[in-house]
């Protein structure tokens, strides 16, 4: 094995995506609305960088695939850049993914680059309203591949 092949193998073993998820830990359905940042290029179309996906909270730490939502299961307002989803109890909604394994940025830099700029969770137990860097910083590490915001 050449040195470059060994280096490639070594580096590929360190790369993984971390899912940023909102968990409905309450006993009733909640509405989640998140706003994505404007594209850097004003001529680029506004689109969702990561498709919304759902899985049972009991499967978060397992290698179970996310069930990507169909366009009839969420609302995307292009002008407002908002995604709206209803989430049942015991479910987690994937709103973003990031490669945190590279370690090239501080939390402050990652918060600035995070593409979700606003997050609202509304349910029977009140509202969570987050804006700017607050959004990124409100997700807590549950493992190296899952950062979660829990609505209780």
Q: Report how far residue 104's alpha carbon sits from residue 124's, in angstroms, rounded to the nearest whole number.
A: 40
Residues 6 or more apart whose Cβ sits within 8 Å of residue 9: 1
Confidence of residue 8 (pLDDT cuts 50, 70, 90): very low
**Cβ-defined contacts of 121-130 (< 8 Å, 24+):** 121/22, 121/30, 121/31, 121/32, 121/149, 121/151, 122/30, 122/31, 122/33, 123/24, 123/26, 123/28, 123/29, 123/30, 123/31, 123/151, 124/26, 124/27, 124/28, 125/26, 125/151, 125/152
Q: Is the pLDDT of residue 11 over 60?
A: no
Residue 65: its H or E element: none
Q: Are 119 and 95 in contact (CB under 8 A)?
A: yes
Residues 6 or more apart whose Cβ sits within 8 Å of residue 74: 52, 83, 84, 85
Among the listed residues 109, 116, 74, 73, the one whose alpha carbon sits nearest the alpha carbon of residue 95? 116
> What is the reported pLDDT for 35?
98
Confidence of residue 75 (pLDDT cuts 50, 70, 90): very high
> What is the reported pLDDT for 104?
59
What are the structure tokens assigned to 58, written together? 């009991």
Q: Is the pLDDT of residue 110 over 90?
A: no
> What is the reported pLDDT for 97?
93
> What is the reported pLDDT for 14?
58
């Amino acid at each position: 094995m050449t040195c470059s092949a060994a280096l490639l193998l070594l580096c590929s073993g360190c790369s993984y995506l971390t899912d940023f998820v909102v968990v409905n830990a309450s006993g009733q359905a909640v509405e989640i609305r998140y706003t994505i940042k404007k594209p850097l290029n004003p001529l680029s179309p506004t689109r969702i960088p990561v498709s919304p996906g759902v899985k049972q909270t009991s499967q978060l730490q397992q290698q179970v695939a996310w069930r990507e939502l169909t366009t009839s299961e969420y609302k995307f307002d292009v002008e407002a850049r908002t995604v709206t989803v209803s989430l049942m109890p015991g479910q987690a909604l994937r709103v973003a993914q990031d490669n945190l394994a590279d370690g090239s940025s501080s939390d402050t830099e990652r918060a600035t680059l995070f593409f979700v700029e606003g997050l609202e969770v509304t349910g029977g137990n009140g509202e969570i309203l987050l804006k700017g860097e607050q959004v990124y910083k409100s997700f807590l590490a549950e493992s190296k591949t899952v950062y979660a915001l829990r609505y209780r």
